[in-house]
Amino acid sequence: MQVDHRSSNSCQDYIAISGGLGSSDYVFKELESYFNSLAREANSCVVGSKVLRNNGDARTVVVSGLLEDRKDQAHALREYFARANYGIIVRSPSPSLRERIEWHVKYGDTIKVNKSTTIKITRSLRTNDQRKWIVEIVCLSGERHHLPEDTIHATDSKLSFVKNSGICETTPGVNQYSGYLSVGKDANMWFWFFESRNNPQTAPLVSWFGGGPGNSAQYGMFTQHGPCEILENSTEPTLREYSLNTHANVLYIDQPIGSGFSYGDGGKVNSTEDCSPYVWTFLQLWFEAFTEYENRELSVFTESYGGHTGPEIVNYILDKNLEIKAGKVSGDVIDIKALSTSNAWFDARIQEKANLDFALDNSYRPLINESLYQDLLVKYKTKVVPSLKKCDETGTTKDCFAAYRDYLDNIEQPIWTSAMDKYTDWIMADIQPGGVRPPTGHEEYLQRADVQNAIGARVNYTDSGGQGGILESGDDAKSFLGELSRIVQDGVQVLIWAGDSDYVCNWVGTKRVADAVNWPRKKEFSEKELKPYKVHGAQKATFKSVENLHYARVFNAGHNVWWYQPETSLQLITQLLSEKGLSST
């Protein structure tokens, strides 16, 4: 059919732009009634934006008309912008409507009757505010079954990425993608995705989030487990043997906005809870763009402050899954396979007491003496515990920041001062004599213009630019033991592990957190002893597992455990992602 004139039989006389608000049945009945009342040819045209799976609502759609809670009838709708599940009819679009929508089906275009054609349509609700999504042209006579069935929801998001930049992953045949997804107004989230070096079609899918708060995912990627590393006194990356993408497809995500290469005035956060909606939106959009992974289970890996962000993100995803299944929100279910947190900060009440115990008695060297321990123990009981209790009860910024300051001033500062007085080589992230930290040459490397151009980065790199007001809000003092417990109860594979020479989030505290997880087998797990964990016959760690909860203490490893013990780390993670669980080799 040639769309080059405006006769009474022209396809352009009747146009529906579908969307996502209101009752599907109600909207369809209104449309059906209105269509049937019109004298027209069978080839009247419907422009339908893709509708969310599971009969959910589309995220954002342009329609002409307003349909809300059955207040308006379809025949009265004309020039307003709103949303509706199947669409609103526009007869001879008014000038104001035509000015707001750039039709990609124009006069002179040819479309095939009874066949769908995927096109792009641009809509603008405000001056200089244009957002794109994919729509379909569907020629039909108004029957419901002609509407697209295998469809996904329309979004405001913009996707931009570079494929196979040649940066970092240089293994032949291994694909990589780096770029941005917009997750809100002026909120652009950076990702760097590496396919597995082995069997990417069937390999597990893992997402990595930095600690911090507000640390870039590239820190962990370059210093610990990405496809490449920048060695001491080097300016160029070297291929890493024990990379996380050896047996997994790995998605590194910079969150919150402001960390790493993520940027924008939108998406600024002041708490761990604020981060999760943006991450969930990102994942929804990423799975849309990389459809070959949409049915793959996702694992969430993190470290350090990830004891907050990891449980919160997974918990949020599980909540959204329930809402999607109940038809309350739009989106695709994201099946979570595993949560891994190394040397992580979950619960200040448990871990501050553990910090005291670890500072006095550990496998390497004491940081405090018995006298100071007893003094600090009194302060812990009389100052820290009451303030943390108040934070738990009120959750306010004032009370939680006060609790944070209480344990920082009364516990942490005295321990740090004592350790520095005792040892000139003391490093809190690796307390063994001569302790070391991973090289940080990646910062200068990622700030190079040629590297940024190659990978598609739009802003300069910052390792820890996403802290914002997170610490000032007292977020550090909030416990995420409840979220962690819910995740274990839901059957997600959970690995809590730690390098045993780290003071910051030491193995004593993380083990006590694991033992405190509230689930049906809590008593069995907490009473179970750690047993040797071997790699090729050599003991490298101790561990214990009960069903889907696992704990491991890795010897001679500091805060960023993977850098200190890469082969052990890779074995632990590979086993976690398998169906066999943890075991010595």
Catalytic sites, residue numbers: 304, 502, 559
List all residues 6 or more positions away from 95 whose beta carbon is below 8 Å from its beta carbon: none
Helix ranges (DSSP H) in 155-233: 217-220
Residue 517: enclosing H or E segment and its boundaries? none
> At which residue do the structure tokens 């850098």 appear?
563
What three-state secondary structure class fits 233?
coil
Q: Is the dihedral of CA 142, 144, 150, 151 positive or negative?
A: positive
Number of residues written out for the chain: 585
Provide the greatest CA pair distance for the chain: 94
For 225, phi and psi rounded to 5 degrees? -140, 10
Contact 154, 122 (CB under 8 A): no
What three-state secondary structure class fits 581?
coil
Contact 561, 342 (CB under 8 A): yes
Contact 178, 193 (CB under 8 A): yes
List all residues 6 or more positions away from 225 whose beta carbon is below 8 Å from its beta carbon: 208, 240, 242, 243, 244, 562, 566, 569, 570
- Given the DSSP bridges, would you call strands 493-499 and 549-554 parallel, antiparallel or unpaired? parallel
Q: Is-cis flag, bond preceding 213, omega within 30?
A: yes
Alpha-carbon distance of 560 to 303, in angstroms, equals 8
User: Which residue, 476, 487, 532, 499, is CA-closest to 342?
Assistant: 499
The DSSP call for residue 395 is: -
As a dihedral over the C-alpha atoms of residue 509, residue 512, residue 514, residue 515, rounded to 10 degrees, the angle is: 180
User: Which residue, 498, 496, 502, is CA-closest to 484?
Assistant: 496
Contact 84, 63 (CB under 8 A): yes
Q: Is the dihedral of CA 330, 332, 333, 335 positive or negative?
A: negative
